[in-house]
Amino acid sequence: MRTYPFDFDPSQPFVQQASEWIADVFYDILPEAGFEVRDEQIYMAFQLERAYTEKQTIFAEAGVGTGKTLVYLLYAIAYARYTGKPAIIACADESLIEQLVKPEGDIAKLARHLDLVIDARLGKSPDQYICLNKLDEARTEPDEAADLYRDIHRELPDFVHFPDSMQSFYPYGNRKDYPELTDEQWDRLGWDVFQDCLVCSQRHRCGQTLSREHYRKSEDLIICSHDFYMEHIWTYEARKREGQLPLLPDHSSVVFDEGHLLETAAQNALTYKLKHAQFEGIITRLLEGEVRETLAVAVEEAIAQSEALFVLLERTSRHVQASDRKELVLSETLMREVGRFRDLLAAIDEEIVFESGLFSLDPYQLKIVEEHLEMIQLALGLFNEPEQLISWVSEDKEGITLVIMPKKVKEVLKEMVFVKKMPIVFSSATLSVDGSFDYTAQSLGIEQFLSFSVPSPYDYEQQMNASLYLDKGGKMKQALQLLQQTEGRALMLFPSKEELLLFKKDLALYPESEAFRFLYEGSAEISHLISDFQQDEHSILCAVTLWEGLDIPGPSLSHVLIWSLPFPPNDPVFMAKRSDAQHPFEEVDMPYMLLRLRQGIGRLIRSRDDRGIVSIFGKELEQESVRKQVCALLPDDNEGMNLC
């Protein structure tokens, strides 16, 4: 028996009844609990009614303070109970997920004030969980950190250590459970794409596996990241072929919070990463048994060619400033070596056909190898279409990784996501460009959609003061003086990790900085850092990824300081976009920077009572065209400001 939050009449359209209940929530129930009536919120509710009735995609652009999250949550929960399938709430990253489900978050508010029991469960990305194999490696390494990892291992649940019968299993090993670990420390034990979970002997005791069993049973909401939802889409068919369940269950609707970032997540999910050691470990499984000599020779030749290819990549790739990626040089030599590697993989495919008829290979292992070979061939096939290829090289202590990404994903999105007859909501304060949603829709392959836009109810002219500063000599002293004006209470935003680390290094040269407590992204788990910043009113949070979604009303965040204008990096992804543009700076760099800057500025005013300042540094502000467009994002009283 499904439980609805209102008296349901089966003879009447469900969405219409849900909409009437939602109107009562905003007009009567929440105001009685102390919430203000917001016209923008009620307007949004009526717009979403049509999207759910017609099962359409809708772009819901709503400014800060409109209460858009409460609106889409109410529709998602009601519709999930009607269909018997959970709704998916996909957030831009893990920190936004934590803000949605925190004890004082919007889900908790609805449950408390509407007397609802809301079944909301987290579907976190695999890299947010401990990998038991990596933990085993870390705790046996001959270094000082081994004690830390041994302590973590000892504290794991008993069922991890002792495979006894009649035990109670439950999810564990979440990144959030280890808030004091730095990102670097977590990387040594957190799951990564090079782990082969299908043949892992510990998979049934793995926290990631157990978490999936947990969130799949949700009746109302599953909350995940954009990246995780896209991974679900791209791996759906492959997992079914391998006899596995898809990452997410069938669902009734999808909400993409901060939906303007979905294209990047889609590209990331379609990205293939290849290491020589990983390839060798997979392909040699074909030699586990009495196989024909021709197959063994083909495998050995492919391994040798893979090794030669990665030696070439290491020798010819070029470092990219302000990026951890190295540029791939598409020379004739590289193209020839990739082609030879693909030919050898094709030869192995042919040999497998003959070998499988002899039943000399383990069917399960064979299926895994075939899946990997198919993915490698698809990825390397993009080298035959350089205009559709984005590729680069990354390097760590374990060696070189070749990363391959398709340039355009809208065709795949169109076929696998937006063709479904299902309500899909894009929610953000920044979805349109010059009042039009066409740019976002076209980049995602969406042909038919509904849309609306409502402004923020806040009085930015009265609540915010903004100043622009040239990025020149004395920048650090000037920034510290600005931080003194608000006695800390600041969010500092950096365009790249490299700039943040350089700031941290240079800051040690200024004794006056000791008056402040600086918190740095990467020094601990992100939601822990955010909570610490909010509780320590005079602290300063320095971040690279918090341009979107951070919601901290009150005096703890009274100052947003933009260390430099957030232009896109010179990495292969944006180099490819620039190469396709007739005017790269105007068509690629400026729109990206202005969208990100608009989001960053939006972190300051989160309630009607908030007051604060925005300080924006940038050497590009010397250019009048850039300065004018930046000023256009600021309150009217600031448009005529002097450049400091």
At 638 the pLDDT is: 52
pLDDT tens digits along 37-86: 888 899 999 999 999 999 999 999 998 888 899 999 999 999 999 999 99
pLDDT tens digits along 410-435: 888 888 888 889 999 999 988 887 78
Nearest of 344, 408, 354, 353 to residue 376 by alpha carbon: 344
Q: Give me the mean pLDDT over the 620-642 stretch.
A: 80
The residue among 429, 454, 479 that closes a domain is 454
Within a domain: residue 151? yes
The CATH number covering residue 606 comes to 3.40.50.300
Return phi, psi of residue 582, to 5°. Answer: -75, -35
Rg (CA), the chain: 26
At 323 the pLDDT is: 67
> Is residue 517 a contact partner of residue 494, using CB atoms and an 8 Å limit?
no
Q: Give me the mean pLDDT over the 87-105 stretch.
A: 86
pLDDT tens digits along 204-259: 889 999 999 999 999 999 999 999 999 999 888 888 877 788 999 999 999 999 99
At 543 the pLDDT is: 97
The residue among 454, 478, 513 that closes a domain is 454
Q: What is the C-alpha separation between 635 and 466, in angstroms, rounded?
A: 8
pLDDT tens digits along 14-45: 999 999 999 999 999 999 998 888 888 999 99
- Is the confidence at residue 637, as pLDDT, over 60? no
428 & 395 share domain? no
377 & 342 share domain? yes
Maximum average pLDDT range among 348-357, 461-470, 573-582:
461-470
Instruction: Report the Cα–Cα distance between both ends of the chain, in Å, rounded.
Output: 65
In the block, which residue shows the tokens 């915010």?
Answer: 464
The CATH number covering residue 350 comes to 1.20.1440
At 24 the pLDDT is: 94
595 & 531 share domain? yes
**Above pLDDT 90, what percent of the chain?**
62
The residue among 398, 419, 454 that closes a domain is 454
Q: What is the C-alpha separation between 601 and 582, in angstroms, rounded?
A: 29
> Is residue 91 a contact partner of residue 224, using CB atoms and an 8 Å limit?
yes
Query: H helices of 382-437, where?
Result: 410-416
353 & 448 share domain? no
At 640 the pLDDT is: 41
Segments forming the whole domain that contains residue 21: 14-124+411-454
614 & 488 share domain? yes
367 & 504 share domain? no
Nearest of 581, 499, 506, 593 to residue 544 by alpha carbon: 499
Q: Which residue has the higher pLDDT, 636 or 340?
A: 340
Within a domain: residue 230? no
Within a domain: residue 471? yes
Band the pLDDT of 1: cuts 50, 70, 90: very low
Q: C-alpha distances in angstroms, 369 versus 202, 354, 364, 381?
A: 20, 15, 9, 18
- Say what the pTM is: 0.86
467 & 593 share domain? yes
Return phi, psi of residue 426, to 5°. Answer: -100, 120
At 285 the pLDDT is: 87
424 & 532 share domain? no
Within a domain: residue 398? yes
Helix (H) or strand (E) holding 309: helix 293-316
536 & 571 share domain? yes
Give the per-residue SS3 of 549-609. Answer: CCCCCCCCCCEEEECCCCCCCCCHHHHHHHHCCCCHHHHHHHHHHHHHHHHHHCCCCCCCC
* Residues forming beta bridges with residue 390, ordered by sequence position: 405
Within a domain: residue 429? yes
158 & 110 share domain? no
pLDDT tens digits along 543-571: 999 998 888 999 999 999 999 999 998 87
Q: What is the C-alpha separation between 458 and 38, in angstroms, rounded?
A: 11
Within a domain: residue 239? no
Within a domain: residue 208? yes
Within a domain: residue 643? no
How many domains would you assign to the chain? 4
Instruction: Give SS3 for 300.
Output: helix
622 & 498 share domain? yes
51 & 113 share domain? yes
